Amino acid sequence: MPIKACVFDAYGTLFDVAAAARNAAAAPGGEALAESWPRLAETWRLKQLEYSWLRAVADDYIPFWQVTQDGLDYALELHGLTDAGLRETLLGLYERLDAYPEVPGILRDLKDAGLATAILSNGSKDMLDAAIDSAGIADVLDGAFSVEDVGVFKPHDRVYALAEERLGVTGAEVAFFSSNCWDATHAARYGFTTVWVNRGGLPLDRVGAPPAEIVDSLAGCAALVAGLG
């Protein structure tokens, strides 16, 4: 069945989740992060994901912005970073994360090819709106769908169903891109044609169903989509 819509995870796929810590370290006064920012970013992201999974299993949904703050608080404490001003700086930067360089161009290419484009994310609506505005990609997206509308985090089936409902397509007509292997494999199990954006060269997760394709960036994904379905 031909692909009609390309749906993207947001954090780590379109937006660089390490950018907040990296940019804070590079800014004036960021000397305390000069050596520790990669470890801080890694811990922050890991806890953000872990807390979303635990809340999904426990049926204990809260907005992803609070999950993001909880993950940061754990990471700051673990790495001995106690400056309250740093916390606020990092959260402010997270609201306007850098998009990966290829993102605006590939979204435009997909739109020019006649495909619908959308985000499907754990992110809260306000978080997604801020990131999209900061990246300047609102005009090449047909929608940004938040789990807020279903009250549970990925990889619950209700999240993937949201993309079908909002775009008016079937799962087989969706090409789904995620940098999170577990997200790509669960979306594949759900019925999407999935692409794992394996930026870190990691092994395949042993859950869900194998993705249709594995790539190391989003560059060239318009040509890739033409061969899917």
What does the alpha-carbon distance between residue 199 and residue 205 come to, in Å, rounded to a whole number? 14
Q: Is the pLDDT of residue 229 over 70?
A: no
pLDDT digits (tens, 9 = 90+) for 204-213: 999 999 999 9
Condensed to tens digits (0 to 9), the pLDDT of residues 78-95 reads 999 988 899 999 999 999
Report if pTM > 0.85: yes
Q: Are 14 and 8 in contact (CB under 8 A)?
A: yes
Would you please indicate which residues are annotated as catalytic (active-site) residues? 9
The domains of the chain are located at 5-15+98-226, 19-94
Q: Which fold has domain 19-94?
A: DNA polymerase; domain 1 (1.10.150)
CATH architecture of 5-15+98-226: 3-Layer(aba) Sandwich (3.40)
With 0-12 CB in 10 A as exposed, 13-18 as middle and 19+ as buried, what is 168? exposed
Instruction: Give the span between the Cα atoms of 169 and 163, in whole angstroms.
Output: 8
Please check the confidence at residue 1 and state whether its pLDDT lies above 80: no
Kindly tell me if the per-residue pLDDT of 52 is higher than 70.
yes
Segment 7-27, tens digit of pLDDT? 999 999 999 999 999 999 999
Which pLDDT belongs to residue 228? Answer: 86
Digit-coded pLDDT (tens) for 145-176: 999 999 999 999 999 999 999 999 999 999 99
Q: What percent of the chain has pLDDT over 70?
A: 100
